[in-house]
Structure 1
Amino acid sequence: LTDASLNFLKKWILLKGMREGFEGLVFSLMDTVTVIMGYVRYHEKYIRSGRQIEDNLGSVKKILVLKLRGLGDAVLGTPVLKNIKALMPNVTISLVTFNFSKPIFENNPHIDGLYGISGNPEPNELNELLKKLNAQNYDLVINLHARNFSSKLVKKIRARWKINRSYFLREKYSDVLIGSDHKLDKSSIERDLDCLRAIGLKPQDKNPEIFITHEEDKWAEDLMAKKKMDPSKKLIIIHPTTNNSYTDWGLDRFINLASQLINNHGHQVLACFPEKEQSISDLLVEQLKEIYVHVGSLRQNMALISKADLMIDNCSAPSHISSALKIKTLVLLGADYKNIYRDSEIYKENCFIFYKNVPCRDSLWSRCLPPDPCQNKVCLDHPVEEVLKKSLELLNK
């Protein structure tokens, strides 16, 4: 402001801009605004771009990462942890996620501290978490999805530097703000890794990863033996439900597909559900007696998925989990853009994505959601016979 004021006085008084009257005043003010905008540009390019963190990376010892999104998004956030640890092996990494997503990060060797929080926390819970986090004196906080709640949480965390990945919002308390490059189909993984690129790190591996313990592996084997599943037969796991109507292929189609895989092709099909979907599990068993079903915790279902020959799923978390576990995966994509949650460089081998390029798709799914939700679901019109054919191809690879 001092430079801008001096510039105005110089133009208005010393260079006699006042003699030009109103026009002189306008041009003096415009020249002053140019000085101010120059400082703003410097601040955006050299300060908020991450350059100041890049120049001091050697002093960063403690990093806190926040991934406050759904289960599938949590899986897609794991490459950030892996790359930080690979490129900065001496730092300690803590992570904050929703309680329901904590199982995704359990047993991850790159995480030194794991914290959970409710989706709509009470003040006491929030204050308790902030007390624990602020006691750590983090050097760097990376918020992998800056929207409302997570941004407010980051604002209250004491740290030397803060990075927010936000493609829709701008705020003043972040040291580095990762903005949009306007690529609608840029993958979520790449967007998260942009947080590391902004501070001079060069990510090497963007494959998500999940870690199953020996005990969980043994539990899955024992359960399969208890259910008298035949180890000589191929095992297909399906997850025929989803929280979003615009990603729901339909239970009837899943039943039809599973019936043909079992009765016509001699394979085994296991449907995995969380406990909250017990009623859907019961309905499935009523209509298809030959199917195997497991209703249990997320870690249990993850262990079972690790034993599958093929995972068939809507666009939801289990298919992200199977991909991270290097299991063949077939995804029935709905309204989502193809590459956002299914990075083409990852889903290219032993995976297949059913995707219809319909003209009604837009970036905010405005034609899919309430108050006038789509009833046609043309984006999910994937014929059962085509899905069956591709499933058999993947099984025989």
Structure 2
Amino acid sequence: MERFTGVKKILVIKLRHIGDVLLTVPAIRALRDGLPGARISALVNSGTEEMLTGNPLLEEVFCFDRRIKESGSASRRIIGEIGFVRGLRQRNFDMTVDLTGGDRPALLGFLSGARYRLGYDPAGSGFAGKKRLYTHLAPRPQGRTHTVIRDCGIGAAFGIPPIDLTVDIFTSAQDEAAIDGLLKAAGIDATTKFVHVHPASRWLFKTWTIAGMASVLDGLQANGLRVVLTTGPSDAERKITISITEAMKTPPVDLSGRVSLKGLAALSRRAALFFGVDSAPMHIAAATGAPVVAVFGPSGAFDWGPWDNRQASVWINDREPDVNTPYPLKGGIQRFGRNTVIQKSWDCVPCGKDGCNGSKKSRCLDEITPEEVLKLLLENVSLPLPQDKM
């Protein structure tokens, strides 16, 4: 193990999206286990902090306000950046761990004044001299690697491997009570078997067809399951959900715009199943232990497939040494524990693009049929529920 002496305060930097931030939890836990005397803080983008607030692994979660980058004149942006860096330095971190990989986190880690600055080798990406901002560079993962494993790789390269790969999210009594109130008002109690459906993503090229989604949700309700819909705050997502409910023959419970990020966790925890697309709510649901069925298009299940906490320790011990993901195939139906991804087995999948030819529409999603999706959902909902194994 690399000798990191005198490390009392660690800053983990993850300036990405909501799901990315949630999946850092095993890497943070590895740092806590490997450097047990240190206090750990996390720096994340504003709007993503709920993924880590309340987590006992962390002393503090603080935010980079993305409005600084959009604050008008260059002078105002510079003043905002200087103020942020000043606050960072005042925290006196001994170590930074950059789980983001971009230019800004590299600079912030350097400007923090931390003695140890860990990250992945930029390998030619970013600005000239970027690697000099770090004191310890881990080799970049080779081949298909799940995001959870990739985030743990920096610490592992220096003798701080993950021991517990659980991705967890913490809710308050108020979060739980708010969801109970919404469900009660909709006529759903503890005996009601329901499916939590989050049908859209902020990235529309990841969203399945309206007709397909409506058909599947009608099919679920025809089989005695209630459907509870949620959506993100964007107008585009809300319009998709409205179109789905209008196309359905049986009305769902529509909680669009009424559930917070923490509330999504509380809701999924009560559900028999979560159904959706590659999105932050999918990762949140998986973290609660709800079985997940997700429709994937151009994005890779190998790095973004739903994580199964119960199966993770078994998989990590049983895998082949060069396998870094529980979703090793390019496409098709893949399972990890009680989670299932359905995706086309086409040569072009996953392409990682924003739709076919930049159209924001993904043919690999459009051609997945309602029949195959409904069959998978009904198979998965018959599995033991999370509370049955607790």
TM-score by length of 1: 0.79
1:145–1:165: 8 Å Cα contact kept in structure 2? no
2:206–2:277: 8 Å Cα contact kept in structure 1? yes
2:373 match = 387
2:137 match = 177
CA deviation map 1:42-74 (0-9, x unaligned):
xxxxxxxxx7xx22x342111000111111111
Give yes or no for the alignment of 1:324 onto 2:287.
yes
The within-5 A match list for 1:355-370 is 355-361=343-349, 365=352, 368-369=354-355
Q: How far is the alpha carbon of 1:348 from its aligned partner?
A: 1.9
2:264–2:284: 8 Å Cα contact kept in structure 1? no
CA deviation map 1:205-237 (0-9, x unaligned):
222111122232222112211121253231101
- Distance (Å, rounded) in 2 between the aligned partners of 1:301 and 1:382: 26
Q: Which moved more, 1:202-211 or 1:91-100?
A: 202-211
2:275–2:294: 8 Å Cα contact kept in structure 1? yes
- Distance (Å, rounded) in 1 between the aligned partners of 2:140 and 2:158: 16
CA deviation map 1:235-266 (0-9, x unaligned):
1011111122432212221111111111x211
1:334–1:355: 8 Å Cα contact kept in structure 2? yes
Out of 243, 252, 269, the residue aligned to residue 306 of structure 1 is: 269
Q: How far is the alpha carbon of 1:271 from its aligned partner?
A: 0.8
1:145–1:166: 8 Å Cα contact kept in structure 2? no
The within-5 A match list for 1:139-218 is 139-165=94-120, 169=125, 171-183=131-143, 185-218=144-177
Distance 1:336 1:202, change over 3 A: same
Q: How far is the alpha carbon of 1:179 from its aligned partner?
A: 3.1
Q: SS at 1:275's partner residue?
A: coil
Aligned residue type for 1:90: G
Distance 1:300 1:372, change over 3 A: closer
Aligned residue type for 1:63: I
TM-score by length of 2: 0.80
1:350 match = 338
Q: SS at 1:97's partner residue?
A: strand
Give yes or no for the alignment of 1:78 onto 2:25.
yes
Out of 31, 34, 56, the residue aligned to residue 109 of structure 1 is: 56
Q: How far is the alpha carbon of 1:369 from its aligned partner?
A: 5.0
Q: How far is the alpha carbon of 1:370 from its aligned partner?
A: 8.0
Unaligned runs of 5+ in 1: 1-50
Q: How many residue pairs get matched?
A: 340
Give yes or no for the alignment of 1:292 onto 2:292.
no
CA deviation map 1:302-344 (0-9, x unaligned):
2222211100110111111111111110111111222111268
- Distance (Å, rounded) in 2 between the aligned partners of 1:251 and 1:154: 44
CA deviation map 1:166-207 (0-9, x unaligned):
555252111122332431x11111111111112211211222
Q: SS at 1:116's partner residue?
A: strand
Give yes or no for the alignment of 1:396 onto 2:382.
yes
Q: How far is the alpha carbon of 1:105 from its aligned partner?
A: 0.9
Q: How far is the alpha carbon of 1:293 from its aligned partner?
A: 1.3
2:91 match = 136
CA RMSD of aligned residues (A): 2.3
2:213–2:244: 8 Å Cα contact kept in structure 1? no
Aligned residue type for 1:203: P
Aligned residue type for 1:171: K
Q: How far is the alpha carbon of 1:395 from its aligned partner?
A: 1.1
- Distance (Å, rounded) in 2 between the aligned partners of 1:316 and 1:293: 19
Distance 1:58 1:157, change over 3 A: closer
Distance 1:362 1:376, change over 3 A: closer
Aligned residue type for 2:279: S
- Distance (Å, rounded) in 2 between the aligned partners of 1:127 and 1:178: 29
Distance 1:370 1:145, change over 3 A: farther
Q: Which moved more, 1:115-124 or 1:249-258?
A: 115-124
- Distance (Å, rounded) in 2 between the aligned partners of 1:373 and 1:337: 19
Q: SS at 1:138's partner residue?
A: coil
1:339 match = 302
